[in-house]
């Protein structure tokens, strides 16, 4: 089955700096890649997603890039703010078969004021 | 996105007992899932709840330990049976409205077993 690796496991940045989280996947059939943010004690919430027919997607300070050839995708957060502090999970799935989301191990991001 | 209500939000249970967690969605959804999340860990899929048929369990999870019901397209339950301290975790339900759509999660049930 699919294997998703996520790096780094922890990340600290100064407020206003950028943060980058990287994920790799093993199954070339994967074609849907969501990112989730989970604040302490809260549910994971979808923040952005990308499909394999797109190389980059942006939503305000958040962007995701996808390199299908290398089988990796990255989350970029610019102008970080303290409220960006959370655990971020990447995931991969094969949308045509529907079900299984394969989650990365998570990155704990701390934004230092 | 769908509004997902999960209850109880937390519980403390005695060893050997069972607890049923409910997941209610405000609209019909194609897929419902149950996850376990250990403290500081990622999300582990327990099973896919299939409407009108037996759930599909992932490796390491069995029906006798985690029976699941899904009587309709808006409701599912997960029972954690014969609990032991190793079952202490957060249990989350999630839904997808269709293939190629994201999953959305409930608030989770924080379960502690004494």
CA atoms within 13 Å, Cβ hemisphere of A71: 13
The pLDDT value recorded for residue B2 is 85
* B-proximal residues of A, 4-33, CB under 8 Å: 32
- Compute the average pLDDT of residues B56-80: 95
Q: Which two tokens stand for residue A3?
A: 């294997």
The pLDDT value recorded for residue A98 is 57
Length of chain A measured in residues: 113
Would an 8 Å CB–CB cutoff place B105 in contact with chain A?
Answer: yes
For residues A6 and A89, the answer to whether their CB atoms sit within 8 Å is: yes
Is the Cβ pair A43, B105 closer than 8 Å?
A: yes
pLDDT digits (tens, 9 = 90+) for A34-93: 999 999 999 999 999 999 888 999 999 999 999 999 999 999 999 999 999 999 999 999
DSSP state of A93: B
Q: What is the C-alpha separation between A81 and A92, in angstroms, rounded?
A: 27
> Which positions ≥6 away from B26 have C-beta within 8 Å?
B2, B3, B4, B5, B74
The pLDDT value recorded for residue A96 is 64
Is A97's pLDDT higher than 70? no
Beta-carbon count within 10 A of A96 CB = 10
Beta-carbon count within 10 A of B17 CB = 11
Q: What is the C-alpha separation between A101 and B41, in angstroms, rounded?
A: 16
Is the Cβ pair B99, A97 closer than 8 Å?
A: yes
pLDDT digits (tens, 9 = 90+) for B3-62: 999 999 999 999 999 999 999 999 999 889 999 999 889 999 999 998 888 899 999 999
Chain B interface, best mutation among A2, A91, A99, A100, by max B CB count within 10 A: A99
Would an 8 Å CB–CB cutoff place A53 in contact with chain B?
Answer: no
The residues pairing with A31 across neighbouring beta strands, listed in sequence order, are: none
Of A51, A89, A95, the CB nearest to B99: A95
């Amino acid at each position: 089955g699919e294997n998703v690796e996520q790096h780094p496991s922890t990340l600290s940045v100064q407020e206003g700096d950028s943060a980058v989280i990287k994920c790799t996947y093993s199954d070339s059939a994967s074609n849907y890649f969501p990112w989730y943010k989970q604040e302490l004690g809260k549910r994971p919430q979808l923040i952005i997603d990308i499909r394999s027919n797109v190389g980059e997607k942006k939503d305000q300070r958040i962007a995701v890039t996808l390199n299908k050839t290398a089988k990796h995708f990255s989350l970029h957060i610019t102008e970080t703010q303290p409220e960006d502090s959370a655990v971020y999970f990447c995931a991969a799935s094969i949308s045509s078969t529907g079900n299984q989301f394969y989650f990365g191990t998570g990155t704990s991001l701390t934004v230092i004021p | 996105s769908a509004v997902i209500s999960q209850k109880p939000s937390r519980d403390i249970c005695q060893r050997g007992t069972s607890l049923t967690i409910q997941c209610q969605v405000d609209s019909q959804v194609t897929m419902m899932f149950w996850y376990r999340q250990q403290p500081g860990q990622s999300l582990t899929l327990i099973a896919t709840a299939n409407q009108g048929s037996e759930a599909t369990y992932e490796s390491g999870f069995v029906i006798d330990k985690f029976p699941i019901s899904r009587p309709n397209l808006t409701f599912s339950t997960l029972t954690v049976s014969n609990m032991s301290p190793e079952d202490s975790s957060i249990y989350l339900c999630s839904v997808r409205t269709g293939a190629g759509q994201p999953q959305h999660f409930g608030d989770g049930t924080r379960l502690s077993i004494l």
